[in-house]
Amino acid sequence: MIEIYGWSDALQRTFAPYAAQGYAAGRITVQQRGSYTVVTDHGDLSARLSGRFIREAEAGGHPAVGDWVALDMRLDEGAATVQAVLPRRTAFTRKAADSVQTVQVVAANIDVALLVASMNGDRNGRRLERYLASAWQSGARPVVVLTKADLCADRATALAEAEGVSPGVPVLVVSALTGEGLADVRAQLSAGETAVLVGSSGAGKSTLVNALYGETVMATGAIREDDARGRHTTTHRELILLPGGAMVLDTPGMRELGLLDAQEGLDAAFDDIEALAANCRFSDCGHSNEPGCAIRAALDSGALDASRWKNFRKLRRELAFVERKEDRVAREAERKRWIAISKAQRGARKLRGRD
């Protein structure tokens, strides 16, 4: 059973210590508030985290859809308890909306990141650049999927905009209604591979899943006519096994995707800018008024789009802020730790004095 979900000899070797403790292997296929569905060799089970796991888990350590886990199974109840998460091969993460430092794992052990954007009005190249940075950082292979082609009056412009911010990345034009481009998407997915669909609400992610599957497996909703934006129809994360053997993970819409520890992904998403900067006369060029600045020359000639440069600088500042914030939090935690140690030492000395 679990072999078709990507179980391998390498995973079997990693799992050996847990098998020796009597645990069974499973993969998280559905994640909802406080509960999970896991696929095992004994079928699907409902699972929750053990108390020890909850107490000891680090930030971002709770299971996400796509994770392989060690389970204490109760087959008579159709239930299981998650005791451990196996090391992740890849992970698509973001900064939680309410925190600078909290990691939210959107999907684990993914091979392909399908970055879905609608062609019918809610196009946003700056958002796509942000998604690309996160996709490259995750370790997955990014693919841009432009949906609702049948509703787009100016397809050439929409395609050119997407290709302009996605150098080196496949950009596919798709219509789930007419079937256009679905074969191109399927060609990006191999049996045993896992893909995650990322995009804002109304981009057509669930509709795309249904089209790839061949029937309705995910709820869909219409977009608002006044602004061409969609309402949330996917409220949880679910891994769907496609007829061809690949797996796709639909996610709730994310209009904002907070970057976290994504410097390498940012460099990959903007490798054209990195290549230009390497041609500056000075290695410490600030790209403002320095002589021989390749960035300024590209901006002046139009070879580099000004809005792309502006967004690159914005994302660099965002990452720098997150790193500074994390440093402050770490320093404060260390200070509190030493205060606690000092108090404990003073208390021990007082007790010895009384003796």
Instruction: Please give the backbone phi and psi of residue 257, each rounded to the nearest 5 degrees, phi first.
Output: -130, 95
pLDDT at 330: 45
- Does residue 64 sit within a domain? yes
User: In angstroms, how far is CA 52 from the centroid of its own chain?
Assistant: 27
Percent of the chain with pLDDT over 90: 41
Q: How far apart are CA 33 and CA 27, in angstroms?
A: 17
Which of residues 298 and 7 earns the better pLDDT score? 7
Encoded tokens for 249: 């993970």
Check whether residue 138 and residue 246 sit in a common domain.
yes
Question: Are the beta carbons of 252 and 235 closer than 8 angstroms?
Answer: yes
Q: Is the residue at 354 inside a domain?
A: no
Task: Judge if 69 and 202 occupy the same domain.
Answer: no
Q: How far apart are CA 66 and CA 220, in angstroms?
A: 22
Range list of H helices, the chain: 9-19, 51-56, 125-138, 155-164, 182-187, 205-213, 263-269, 271-277, 294-301, 306-354
**At residue 227, does pLDDT exceed 50?**
no
In single-letter form, the type of residue at position 219 comes to A
Residue where a domain terminates, one of 27, 62, 85: 85
Query: Does residue 154 share a domain with residue 73?
Result: no
> With left for phi above 0 and alpha for psi between -120 and 50, is residue 322 left, alpha or beta?
alpha
Asked whether the beta carbons of 194 and 66 are under 8 A apart, the reply is: yes
Q: For residue 159, what are the domain limits?
A: 91-250
* Tens digit of each residue's pLDDT (9 = 90 or more) over 167-214: 889 999 999 999 999 999 999 999 999 999 988 878 889 899 999 998
Q: What is the CATH number of the domain that holds 69?
A: 2.40.50.140
- Please tell me whether residues 192 and 208 are part of one structural domain: yes
* Residue 47 reports pLDDT greater than 90: yes
* 335 domain-assigned: no
Helix (H) or strand (E) segment spanning residue 139 = none
Give the C-alpha separation, 306 to 76, whole Å. Answer: 62
Determine if the pTM surpasses 0.75.
Answer: no
Cβ atoms 207, 200 nearer than 8 A: no
Q: What is the DSSP letter of 230?
A: B
Predicted confidence at residue 127, as pLDDT, reads: 83
Number of H helices, E strands in the chain: 10, 13
Looking up tokens 């992740």, which residue turns up?
A: 88
Specify the DSSP class assigned to residue 100.
S
**286 found inside a domain:** no
Average pLDDT of the residues of the chain: 81
CA distance 327 to 21: 38
- Is 30 in contact with 238 (CB distance < 8 Å)? yes
How far, in Å, CA of 59 to CA of 163, rounded?
Answer: 35
239 and 105 in a common domain: yes
Q: Are residues 81 and 96 in the same domain?
A: no
Dihedrals phi, psi of 28, to nearest 5 degrees: -70, 125
Q: What is the Cβ-side half-sphere exposure of residue 152, based on CA atoms within 13 angstroms?
A: 22
Name the 3-class secondary structure at 93: strand
Strand intervals (E) in 210-265 = 237-241, 247-250
Same structural domain for residues 81 and 95? Answer: no
Cβ–Cβ under 8 Å, residues 56 and 84: no
For 242-297, how does the pLDDT look when each residue is reduced to its tens digit (9 = 90+)? 999 999 998 875 545 555 555 665 666 677 888 888 888 888 888 888 888 988 88
**CA 39/CA 331 separation, integer angstroms:** 41
Domain assignment present for residue 221? The answer is yes
Domain end among 26, 56, 85:
85
Using the 3D structure, point to which of 40, 59, 85 is the last residue of a domain. 85
Distance CA 12, CA 50 (A): 22
Q: What confidence tens digit (pLDDT) does each residue in 67-115 have?
A: 999 999 999 999 999 999 999 999 888 765 555 446 778 899 999 999 9
* Residues 12 and 81 placed together within one structural domain of the fold: yes
Beta-carbon contacts of residue 104 (< 8 Å; ≥ 6 apart): 60, 93, 94, 95, 96
pLDDT over 60 at 120, yes or no: yes
Q: What CATH number has the domain bearing residue 121?
A: 3.40.50.300
The per-residue pLDDT for 345 is: 55
Identify whether 184 is part of a domain: yes
* Number of compact structural domains in the chain: 2
The pLDDT assigned to 270 comes to 76
Please say whether the beta carbons of 245 and 239 come within 8 A: no
What is the distance between the alpha carbons of residues 177 and 150, in angstroms, rounded to a whole number?
Answer: 8
Question: How large is the C-alpha radius of gyration of the chain?
Answer: 24
Q: Which residue has the higher pLDDT, 90 or 133?
A: 90
For residue 161, give both structure tokens: 């905009």
**Do 125 and 239 have their domain in common?**
yes
203 occurs within a structural domain: yes
Question: Is the Cβ–Cβ distance between 40 and 5 less than 8 Å?
Answer: no
In a domain, 261, yes or no: no
CB of 132 within 8 A of CB of 117? Answer: no
| 218 and 177 inside one domain | yes
- 53 and 187 belong to one structural domain: no
Whether residues 79 and 97 share a domain: the answer is no
